[in-house]
Amino acid sequence: MQAFRTNGSRVLAIDLRGDAVRAATGSMIAYIGEVTFRHAGSGGGDGLLAGLKRRAAGESLPLMTCTGQGTVWFAKDAMEVTVVELAGDTLKVESEQLLALSDGLRTDVAFAGVRGVSSGQGLFTTTVTGHGAVALLSAGGPPIALEVSPQFPLVVDPDAFVASRGQLNQTFVTDVSWRNLIGESSGEAFSLRFDGHGVVYIQPEER
């Protein structure tokens, strides 16, 4: 399995030794060596069922597979890169904030409820399961990992949500009454409340 390393806080570097890695299409900024880039199939290359779900959901997760011998550098829109290790558990992540994932991980689509309905985001998140490394993107600064537990329920602005893992229950709360009044304001008219046990990753900037 490759080592995911960061060069500064906004660039991910991966050394390939004849193996492969999947990354967001268009995120490669430079490479040295012999590397080929192939579209990873519709739906992130994880089987017909995931692909169908994805098409039905209207969500797209364009990934490419990078194979070969050399070093590849990845980045996207100057967002901060954070590497998270999965040890058999599942990470739910906004698909546009997924930069790269190691080859052993499996991707799927999960229904996220009506989150994102007025902002035009998809109704689905991408789930990543298995053993390996995931590189996440965070806009506006490094992501913040917040613990959720029975004594610490958490409320999050949907446009700041990046990813979550654990046994979490997500509900909607209407605590932000100003959004209904101001026509020109963008953003959801509700917030996301998380209960249970797990971790939520947020970014310092609203999408």
Partner 1 sequence: MTPLNPTTLPDNDNVPDNAYAFCRRLDGQLFMQTGRMIAYYPAPGGPGIRFEPLTAASVGGFVAQRFSAPLYTRDWVVATGSGHLLLGDRGYDINSYDLAEGNLTIRAANLLAFDTSLELKQSIVPGFLTLVGTGTFLASSSGPVIFAEPPIRVDPDALVGWADCPSPSHHYDARWMTGFLGGAMGMLFGVQSGEERQFDFTGAGTVLLQSSEHAVADPHLLRQLEGQVGTLSAPGLTRLQQVIQQRLGAQQY
Partner 2 sequence: MPFTKVNGKVVTATVAPGREVLARRGAMLAYTGDVGFAPVHAGQGGIGGVAGRMMAGEQVAMMVAQGSGTVHYGFRGLHVTVIELDGSGPLTVEADRLLAHDASLQATVVFLGSQGGIRGAVRGAVSGQGLFTTQLHGHGSAAVLSHGGTIAIPVHPGAPTTVDPQAFVAHAGQVQADISLNASWRDAVGRGSGEAIQLKLTGSGTVHVQASEQKL
With a CB cutoff of 8 Å and minimum separation 6, the contacts of 73 are: 7, 11, 12, 13, 28, 29, 30, 31
What's the N-to-C CA distance of the chain in angstroms?
32
DSSP conformation class of 157: -
Q: Which of 8, 88, 150, 183 binds partner 2 (CB under 8 A)?
A: 8
Q: Among partner 2, partner 1, none, what does residue 143 contact (CB within 5–8 Å per kind)?
A: partner 1
Name the residue nearer to partner 2 (CB basis): 45 or 166.
45
Residue 84 identity: V
Beta-carbon count within 10 A of 147 CB: 12
Q: Which of 160, 163, 188, 190 binds partner 1 (CB under 8 A)?
A: 160
Q: Among partner 1, partner 2, none, what does residue 82 contact (CB within 5–8 Å per kind)?
A: partner 1
Beta-carbon count within 10 A of 85 CB: 12
* Residue 77 interacts with partner 1 (CB under 8 A): yes or no: no
Query: Judged by CB under 8 A, which stretch of 21-29, 62-70, 100-108, 140-148 contacts partner 1?
Result: 140-148
Q: Find out whether 201 and 163 touch, Cβ atoms under 8 Å.
A: yes
Query: Judged by CB under 8 A, which stretch of 20-28, 43-51, 55-63, 182-190 contacts partner 1?
Result: 182-190
Binding site for partner 1 (CB under 8 A): 82, 84, 139-147, 149, 151-157, 160, 175-179, 181-182, 185-187, 199-200, 202-206
